[in-house]
Structure 1
Amino acid sequence: MDESPEYIRYRQDSAVLAEIGRFLDPQVARLTVRLSGDLARAAAAAWDRDEEGEAGEETAEQARVRDRAASLALIGLAVSDRGVASGEEIVVDLDVTEVAAALLAAYDEDVISLESP
């Protein structure tokens, strides 16, 4: 099936975006962030949880939700390994991809908007 000119451009744009990511990767590794204690404990619990069975065939929505759960678990691993209590919060260095995953989930769930400061 032939792609429309728009989708050919979108694929080219995607390739440029990937190259920007390659260029930025050595510049940005981890970010120091603060999480509430409750959120940090929930992330750590996601890391500690054993999932039974295999994913099997999934819809695009199911795959996205599973990917987000995996991102949460990776944040939980960081909290468990590197998190330091600071009052009621946990300070932890997160990989930039983990921060991005959390922000994308927040945008998608309308918890924050693109106009947020």
Structure 2
Amino acid sequence: MRLPRSLAEAAVAAWNRDELDEVSDEIREEYELREDAAELAFIGLAVSERGTWDGEQVIVDLDVAEVAAALRAAR
């Protein structure tokens, strides 16, 4: 899959981010936002481990679940 550089860099930053706060009671929107952030972070892991930078894009092999997460992250 080809991802724009900005999305790939955001994903890698999400993967490298330390989450030190405990998760407290959340409203639905907060839960969904945290889930989206987690999916973005997993894309960052894939980019970090096996991504190939090609100018303003990164090429990375993703499995089906990762492709779905990348599409959701891109929205």
Corresponding residue pairs, total: 74
Matched, 1:66 2:37: no
Matched, 1:48 2:16: yes
What SS class does the counterpart of residue 53 from structure 1 fall into? Answer: coil
Give, in angstroms, the shift of residue 104 of structure 1. Answer: 3.9
- Decide whether the 8 Å contact of 2:43 with 2:70 is kept in 1: no
Distance 1:39 1:103, change over 3 A: closer
| Structure 1 segments of 4+ aligned residues over 3 angstroms from their partners | none
- Decide whether the 8 Å contact of 2:43 with 2:69 is kept in 1: no
In the aligned structure 2, how far is the partner of 1:91 from the partner of 1:102?
12
Unaligned residue ranges in structure 1 (runs of 5+) = 1-32, 107-117
Give, in angstroms, the shift of residue 99 of structure 1. Answer: 2.0
Superposition pairs of residues 76-87 of structure 1, within 5 angstroms = 76-87=44-55
Return the letter of the residue paired with 2:9: R
What SS class does the counterpart of residue 103 from structure 1 fall into? Answer: helix
Give TM-score scaled by structure 2 length: 0.85
Which of 34, 46, 70 is the equivalent residue of 2:2?
34
RMSD across aligned positions (CA)? 1.5
| Higher RCO structure (Cα 8 Å, ≥6 apart) | 2
Relative to structure 2, which stretch is displaced further, 73-82 or 85-94? 85-94
Q: How much identity, in percent, do the aligned residues show? A: 57
